[in-house]
Amino acid sequence: MLEWTAAIDELQEVVGIAAVILVCLAAFAFGSVRTRLVAGSMLLNGVAIATFEVYLTGVGMLAATAVKAFMLLFAYAWMCWRWPHIWLIVLTSLQCMDVLLVMARVADTSILLSVNALARNFIGWLVLLTLAVATVQAKRLQLMERAQS
Q: Report the b/e string of 122-132 with b at 16+ CB within 10 A.
A: ebbebbbebbb
* CA 64/CA 28 separation, integer angstroms: 27
pTM for the full model? 0.82
Tens place of pLDDT per residue across the chain (149 aa): 556 666 666 777 888 888 999 999 999 999 889 999 999 999 988 888 777 777 767 777 778 888 888 888 899 889 989 888 899 999 999 999 999 998 898 888 888 888 988 999 999 999 999 999 999 998 999 899 989 97
Q: What are phi and psi of 108, to 5 degrees?
A: -130, 100
